Amino acid sequence: MTMEQNRTSAKDFFLHLGSIVALYVVAGNFINLLFKIINEAYPEVAAYSYYYYQGGSQISLSVATLIVVFPVFVLLSRMVHKTYEESPEKKSLGIRKWLTYITLFVAGIMLVGDLVTVLYKFLDGQDLTAAFLLKALVVLLVSGAVFGFYLQDIRDQVSQKARNIWAVAIGCLLLVAIILGFSVIGSPKTQRLLREDDRKISDLQNMQWQVINYWQVNAFIPNEMPNLPLDPQGDNTYEYRKTGELSFELCAGFNKEDNIPQNQRVPIEGPYMKGDVMRSDNWEHPAGWHCFSRQIDPIAYPTSVRG
């Protein structure tokens, strides 16, 4: 092979780099998606008392990434191997060897790192035994498949027929994972309704803090709340009712029942969630109209009015 033939062109560089990057993205999101599905079946033990939902968006991102990036990976891989068929000497390009060995290294690091994380959550009591075993199996299979394939590939032991079989098998696995992902998060319409409910909860939290703030300034809670925010869907208005000297209710209409598992929630932070008393309030709700009863703790929220 001449020096000219051994030289890496810009096309060679970006085709090889693009296929490897696409591989990393597909493998990482595939593992992440399966982990989320396993968490749905075997929820982790949460360490907080109240949270807001974020699981759907995480799963949606993994599903969307796989749908887009996997075909790109297949296309780039076919283009790379087409260049090998046209110019077999390109199999000796330095860029191919470097990226392949880097991939083997990354697969090994990913295997060790994910297994450490899975084992930590198991020992820390966050994962059940079944979830631990399933996650460990996912990591072993994905990392092992990547490692084994590219080890054979660098040794030129993978035929075109074998490549086609690998592509079809991986595509089927991804399809199954994506279907399971949709079964967890529901349809885009369902996700949109859940986000509308999240926004309503946020509005009610803001209203609640306004009542608390009014109490701290005036030493009594308001009989009515002026300028109630508009319901984002416009189907129902929010409702505020004073039910006692220190108690009140906040009401809204919801699209879906709030039955989100604890492992898919994260701690709420923000200007209207000051202190553990507010953070521990229960915002779980059924579908339809629902009212949340609240009682102000004068010790936790003292007034500024001097008697």
Q: In terms of DSSP H, where are the helices of 87-187? A: 94-123, 129-154, 160-185
Q: Are 200 and 231 in contact (CB under 8 A)?
A: yes
Q: Which residues have a Cβ under 8 Å from the Cβ of 157 and sit 6 or more positions away?
A: none
Q: Which residues have a Cβ under 8 Å from the Cβ of 42 and sit 6 or more positions away?
A: 127, 128, 130, 131, 134
Q: Are 56 and 194 in contact (CB under 8 A)?
A: yes
The pLDDT, as a whole number, for residue 58 is 65
Identify the CA nearest to 114 among candidates 140, 133, 134, 150. 140
- In the predicted model, what is the mean pLDDT of residues 53-63? 66
Return the bridge partners of 242, or none: 248
Identify the CA nearest to 278 among candidates 209, 178, 175, 179. 209
Decide: helix, strand or coil at residue 295.
Answer: strand
The pLDDT, as a whole number, for residue 263 is 42
**Can you give the pTM of this predicted structure?**
0.58
CA dihedral 25, 13, 165, 135 (to 10 degrees): -20
Q: Are 115 and 139 in contact (CB under 8 A)?
A: yes
Q: How many residues are recorded in the chain?
A: 307
- pLDDT digit string, tens, across residues 155-202: 777 777 877 888 888 888 888 888 887 776 666 677 778 788 888 888
Decide: helix, strand or coil at residue 292.
Answer: strand
- Listing DSSP states for 60-76 in one string gives HHHHHHHHHHHHHHHHH
Q: Do β-strands 288-295 and 51-53 pair in parallel, antiparallel, or remain unpaired? A: unpaired
Confidence of residue 128 (pLDDT cuts 50, 70, 90): low
Most distant pair of Cα atoms in the chain: their distance: 96
Percent of the chain with pLDDT over 90: 8
